[in-house]
Amino acid sequence: MDDARTHITDYKTYAFIWACLLALTALTITVGAMHLSRYSVLICLAIASCKALLVLTYFMHLRYEGALIKGVIIMAILTLTVMIGLTFVDVWYR
Amino acid sequence: METINDKAEESRVGYKGAKLGMWFFLITEMLFFGVMFMLYSVNRYKYSQAFHIAALDENLVIGSVNTIILITSSFTMALSITAIRKGNKMLSCWLQLATIVMAFLFLVNKYFEWSVKIRNGIYPASPALLQKEKGEVLFYSLYYVMTGIHGLHVLVGIGVISTMLVFTLKEKINTESFVKLENTGLYWHFVDIVWIYLFPLFYLVT
Amino acid sequence: MNSFYTNTVPRQGLAAWMLSTDHKKIGIMYLAALLLFFSTGTFIGVLMRLNLISPGTFMGAQTYDRLFTIHGIIQIFLFIIPGIPVSFGNFFLPIMIGARDVAFPRINRLSWWLYLAGAGLVLASLFFGGGALDTGWTFYAPYSIKTRTNVSLAVFAVFILGFSSILTGINFVTTIHRLRAPGMKWHRMPLFVWTLYATGWVQILATPVIAISLLMIILERFFGLGFFDASKGGDPVLFEHMFWIYSHPAVYIMVLPAMGIISEIIPVFARKTIFGYKAVAYSALAIAGVGYLVWGHHMFTSGMSDTARVVFSFITFLVAVPSGIKVLNWVATLYKGSIKLDPPMIFALTFIFLFSIGGLTGLVIGALATNLHLHGTYFIVGHFHYVMFGGMGMSFLAALHYWFPKMFGRMYGERQAKIGWLFLFIGFNLLYFSMFVLGFNGMPRRYFDYPPEYFTGHLVSTIGSWVLVTGLAIIFRNLIIAIFKGPQAPANPWGGKTLEWQVPSPPPHENFGEIPVITSGPYSFE
């Protein structure tokens, strides 16, 4: 776990990630303009999740953090999934 | 006599403890915004047509520019931490300043975006808005609430990063002790991630 | 005697306490505040019960509505939810794991100040902008949006209190991860610490949800957003979802630490190690986890889909299992133990009895068919008072009687404690068991008046409230006198094995001379 403290991400890596993020932004705007109706929601959310993952992994250093912090985030995502999921069990089936 | 409670947090809970505490705070924010996303998704499910129509009216240019601004500010924030860890105090300060400036620009754009809408009579419970479809009313309510609360977080971020800038100048943040800046970075990246999701949901899903 | 009470900083008097970051001082201050608010809330309850034996004689309907609303807000948000974590948790968590303080002492102090601010705002809401709200502590839309009473300030107060709760949760979970003494492995931690850990997670993951729900109420009142307004396309049931997504896990914030205390007391007063340590520890996590999935059982009659109702009812039955595991293990610990009926033990056993009744009645209302008949009646009121007051309340009193000598360095009168308990126990059951009968026979809750056939039940219940309050008075008089005049208490009057009993009563400022090295589990009795 000293990995997290001793590892310093270098400027070049950050620049590369930044470029990826901009590219994905361009992609999502293009897809959004294509009016694919309900697929466009899914595709745009998928692209957004890729961007979020890049920010989490590299900018937020998650790649070099231990299991505990990764577990913390997973717990939060799980909780949100359950919350939204069970609410939709109501809303969908009314 | 120095008591245990006077010592800096970091020396007691360590670098790892300070980071862990910050991550716990971030997941409370995740849940906080997450519920709003839930509100959005339930209403989108009920009123997909109306959401589609309302989203067409959004200013895609400002939205895209703001997305690029925020992503770049996340980039400069990350760079500023590498800079101070490599001992480059002035570079770190310039990068933090750049982050603050971009955050400020984001808010200025938001101000213009909102003024146009309000001048056109589209704001919560306005007569013009109430004339529209129910789904559109809810779309705009969600728009104002979610981008508004996000904007507040940007504003707070400006305050916090400015404080960190002062600390870095005074060398309270330095090559040995930098967890405050890292934690600030975590907060700022989180604010960026929220926008990464807000952008498609309000500007793109047509 | 150089305890944490003697001043080591240049500040004097009140400032020394209010500005302190010492977890022990903060815990004591919280304790005082909690008991003050509990007394206020109880007093309001007594007033409500007085109305109910003579409806309309000295208060009108809206006054009654305001009273039950404020009663709920005070007891729930100012007493039960912060309750055990902020008082006994703050005081004993660091000591029990061999630390000198929590992970973030200054954030701890901030939590305390936010708690006071929230209390102040609740008080303020009674006097401004329409006065005390009358929505019930559940703030259901659309009434909470429309009523001209001061919903916004009260709801904002709860928002602040929620923030205080979140910070406490973050603090405790980080403390347990990072500040355990050498050798204090996870499976050597006291069970109270396990429950504080599980509770901390719930505080972190659930509280933000009610923060948003409350914020939405305020924004709707001011800006007419429409999320919960059917005329604008909104859905009031959505508010109920958002509200209960927090408020159900909240009851586990209330009861998990309470169960942790029972797990501490039973081994000591049975002179026997806890039966099934791991089962008890993990069941706390299971209760916290499954507790996230059941919130819909508060909404069976609100118009949810049938599918949702079946799903929520099924999961509700599941959550009873880990609670049952705890009760089983406590009883198994008692078996062939050497039982000493000191006051802490008496309150702990009372917890098991009353909480079990409350829990079993929960199954009755967790089933869909019976829920239709019982929702919104006094049966529900009886149920939650058995689990909250009979559960957390009794555990709070158990903890108070257990740790009193450690916190204050004095001993209280055993006989007075037991007499007080007797009044409390009899009064409690008169007050709340009658509610099961009333509710089963159809008496609705939150009603200011009622048809004459319910009078007897209400009379028994109100008399019970007087007996109960007498019991509380005896108990607190006993403890307060002991603080000033009680005989000096030794370091370990009960023969406990956890770390707090290895330090003086009261503990010194830094808790330990030297941080201990732990070599065994916490309940090794012979």
Q: What is the pLDDT of residues C219-236, one digit of tens each?
A: 999 999 999 999 888 999
Q: Does A74 contact chain C (CB < 8 Å)?
A: no
State the complex-level ipTM: 0.94
Touching chains, C (3+ CB pairs < 8 A): A, B
Confidence band, pLDDT 50/70/90 cuts, at residue C475: very high
Name B13's Cβ contacts closer than 8 Å, sequence gap at least 6.
B20, B21, C103, C104, C174, C178, C179
Give the A:B interface size as CB pairs under 8 Å. 125
Closest residue by Cα to residue C423 from C385, C465, C470: C470
| pLDDT confidence bin for C67, thresholds 50/70/90 | very high
The number of folded domains in chain B is 1
pLDDT of residue B161: 97
Mutation for testing the A interface, residue in B72, B204, B206 having most A CBs under 10 Å: B204
CATH level 3 topology of C23-502: Cytochrome C Oxidase; Chain A (1.20.210)
Can you spell out the DSSP letters for C502-513? Answer: GS-SSPPTTS-S
H or E stretch including C335? none
Range of the domain at B51: 13-204
Specify whether the CB–CB gap between C117 and C69 falls below 8 A: no
Using a CB-CB cut-off of 8 Å, the residues of chain A touching B190 are 60
Tokens of C108: 């701890």
Answer yes or no: do C232 and B43 touch at CB < 8 A: no
Q: What is the pLDDT of residues C290-320, one digit of tens each?
A: 999 999 999 999 999 999 999 999 999 999 9
Contact C307 A89 (CB under 8 A): yes
The rounded distance, in Å, linking the Cα atoms of A87 and B8 is 44
> Which residues lie below 8 Å from residue C388, measured CB to CB, with a gap of 6+?
C75, C80, C251, C254, C255, C358
A16–chain B nearest CA distance, Å: 10
Closest Cα of chain C to A14: distance in Å?
30
Across C72-82, b (16+ Cβ under 10 Å) vs e yields bbbbbbbbbbb
Residues 6+ apart with CB under 8 A from C266: C274, C330, C333, C334, C345, C348
Closest to A9 (Cα-Cα) out of A54, A70, A73: A54
C245 at B interface, C-beta within 8 A: yes
Contact (Cβ atoms closer than 8 angstroms) between residue C474 and residue C423 = yes
Flag whether B7 is in a domain: no
Check if A79 contacts C (Cβ < 8 Å): yes
- By Cβ distance, the residue of C22, C212, C223 closest to B35 is C212
Q: Say yes or no for a CB contact (<8 Å) between A90 and C245.
A: no
Q: For residue A68, which residues of chain B lie inside 8 Å, CB to CB? A: 20
Q: Report the amino acid identity of residue C166.
A: I
Q: Which of residues 62-121 of B touch A (CB under 8 A)?
A: 64, 67-68, 71-72, 74-75, 77-79, 82, 85-86
Non-local CB neighbours of C363 within 8 Å, separated by 6+ positions:
C317, C320
Mean pLDDT of all residues in C238-243:
96
Nearest Cα residue to B147 out of B102, B204, B194? B194
Domain membership flag for residue B5: no
What CATH number is attached to the domain comprising B32? 1.20.120.80
Of A1, A35, A59, the CB nearest to B78: A59
Widest CA span in chain B: 69
Q: Estimate the crossing angle of helix B9-46 against helix B134-169, to 10 degrees.
A: 160
Minimal-distance CA residue of chain C relative to A92: C305
In this structure, what token pair is assigned to residue C474?
């005896």
Q: What pLDDT score was predicted for residue C8?
A: 67
**% of chain C surpassing 70 pLDDT:** 99
- Whether C305 and A89 lie within 8 Å, measured CB to CB: yes
Task: Locate B175 and state its tokens.
Answer: 């090559």
| A16 Cα to chain C: minimum distance (Å) | 34
Q: Which of residues 96-125 of B touch C (CB under 8 A)?
A: 124-125
Look up residue C456 and give its amino acid.
Answer: T
Interface of B with C in 5-64 (CB under 8 A): 5, 9, 12-14, 16-17, 20-21, 24-25, 27-29, 31-32, 34-36, 38-39, 42-43, 46-47
* Spans of all domains in chain C: 23-502
A75 touches C: beta carbon within 8 Å: yes
Res B8 pLDDT > 50: no
Q: Is C457 on the interface with B (CB under 8 A)?
A: no
Tell me the two tokens of residue C85.
């974590």
State yes or no: pLDDT of A69 exceeds 50. Answer: yes
pLDDT of residue C126: 92
Token output for B188: 């700022």
Best mutation target among C202, C245, C299 (most A Cβ atoms within 10 Å) is: C245
CB B14 within 8 A of CB C178: yes
Tell me if C101 and B4 make a contact (CB, 8 A cut-off).
yes
Which tokens is B203 given?
């500007």
> pLDDT tens, A33-58?
887 767 888 899 999 999 999 999 99
Is the predicted pLDDT of residue B1 greater than 80, yes or no?
A: no
Burial of B139 (0-12, 13-18, 19+ CB in 10 A): buried
Please list the helix, strand and coil fractions of chain A in percent, rounded to the nearest 5, in that order.
85, 0, 15
- Residues 6 or more apart whose Cβ sits within 8 Å of residue C308: A86, A89, A90, A93, C296
Cβ–Cβ contact A80 with C under 8 A: no
- Is residue C103 helix, strand or coil? coil
Number of B–C residue contacts, CB under 8 Å: 119
- Is 60 exceeded by the pLDDT of residue A3? no
Asked whether the beta carbons of B149 and B81 are under 8 A apart, the reply is no
pTM: 0.95
Q: What integer pLDDT is reported at residue B9 of this predicted model?
A: 44
Say which of B13, B27, B39 has its CB closest to residue C179: B13
pLDDT, mean over chain C: 95
Residues 196-235 of C with CB under 8 A from B: 204-209, 211-213, 215-216, 219, 223-227, 232-235
| Residue at B68 is within a domain | yes
Task: Evaluate whether residue B118 is within a structural domain.
Answer: yes
Cα–Cα distance between B42 and A92 in angstroms, integer?
9
Q: Do B39 and C238 touch (CB under 8 A)?
A: yes
pLDDT of B3 > 70? The answer is: no
Least CB-CB distance to C292: which of A68, A79, A87? A79
Residues 155-184 of B with CB under 8 A from A: 182
What average pLDDT does this structure show over C443-449?
96
Is B136 a domain residue?
A: yes
Q: C41 is written with which tokens?
A: 């809330």
C-alpha–C-alpha distance, residues B172 and A57, integer Å: 27
DSSP letter for C453, please: G
Q: Is the peptide bond before C142 cis (omega within 30 degrees of 0)?
A: yes
Residues of chain C with pLDDT > 90: what percent? 91
Q: For B112-150, what is each residue's pLDDT tens digit?
A: 999 999 999 888 888 888 888 888 999 999 999 999 999
d(CA C178, CA C4): 24
Task: Give, in order, the Cα–Cα distances in Å from C265 to each of B20, C258, C373, C416.
Answer: 32, 11, 39, 20
Number of Cβ within a 10 Å radius of residue B37? 18
Average pLDDT over residues C70-97: 97
User: In the numeric block, which tokens belong to residue C286?
Assistant: 């299971």
Which pLDDT score, from 0 to 100, does residue B56 have? 87
Is B172 domain-assigned? yes
CA separation, residue C427 to residues C255, C391, C434 (Å): 22, 15, 11
Whole-angstrom distance, CA of residue C446 vs CA of residue C301: 17
